[in-house]
Each structure stands twice: as structure tokens, then as C-alpha cells.
């Protein structure tokens, strides 16, 4: 979900210091926006990989995430690479 849309939703439905619940954390966009808007937040994520992404985003380490994705995509091969 785009951060601008989440910002609008969070601003209109809560006040600074309120609690935002995100039961499907994903990449942590809701948490990042809630933190920026000075809301408390609880985020749940079952995947350890996505949990680590959320922690990095909250710490402002987006470049670490982009570098990991770049390295992983360079190491992947497709059927066309094999032929």
C-alpha cells in the first residue's frame, strides 16, 4: 500500500500517541508511517525474513534491503539462462 494513502488513513483515524495495529506486517509500511506520525504501533508478521525487513526499515536501513534484493536477483537463473 502506498505510504501517502496510509498516512491519510492513519492521520484521519488516530491522534499522536494512539495505537495502530497491523496484523499483517509485510514489509512494514504501516509501521514506518505510524512511527513517522508519532503513533505507537503493533505489527505482526509470521515470516522471519519479512520481520527482519521491517526492523531494517524502522531503523532507516533501506539501502541494506535494496542491496540484498539486488544481490539475490543477480544470483537467480531462469530457464532461458540454462538453455
Query: In the chain, what percentage of residues exceed pLDDT 90?
Result: 70
User: What interhelical angle do 62-75 and 48-58 show, nearest 10?
Assistant: 140
- What pTM was estimated for this model as a whole? 0.76
Q: Measured between alpha carbons, how far is 23 from 32 in angstroms, rounded to an integer?
A: 14
8 vs 10: CA distance, rounded Å: 6
**Nearest-angstrom CA–CA distance, 15 and 48:** 30
Q: How many CB atoms lie within 10 A of CB 14?
A: 15
Number of domains in the chain: 1
| 63 has a pLDDT exceeding 80 | no
CATH number (domain holding residue 11) = 3.40.50.150
Domain that holds residue 38: 3-82
Ramachandran assignment for 13, one of left (phi > 0), alpha (psi -120 to 50 degrees), beta (any other): alpha
Amino acid at each position: 500500500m502506498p505510504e501517502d494513502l496510509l498516512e491519510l488513513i492513519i492521520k484521519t483515524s488516530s491522534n499522536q500517541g494512539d495505537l495502530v495495529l497491523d496484523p499483517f506486517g509485510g514489509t512494514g509500511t504501516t509501521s514506518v508511517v505510524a512511527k513517522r506520525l508519532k503513533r505507537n504501533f503493533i505489527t505482526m508478521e509470521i515470516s522471519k525474513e519479512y520481520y527482519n525487513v521491517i526492523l531494517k526499515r524502522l531503523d532507516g536501513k533501506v539501502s541494506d534491503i535494496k542491496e540484498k534484493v539486488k544481490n539475490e536477483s543477480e544470483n537467480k537463473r531462469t530457464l532461458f539462462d540454462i538453455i
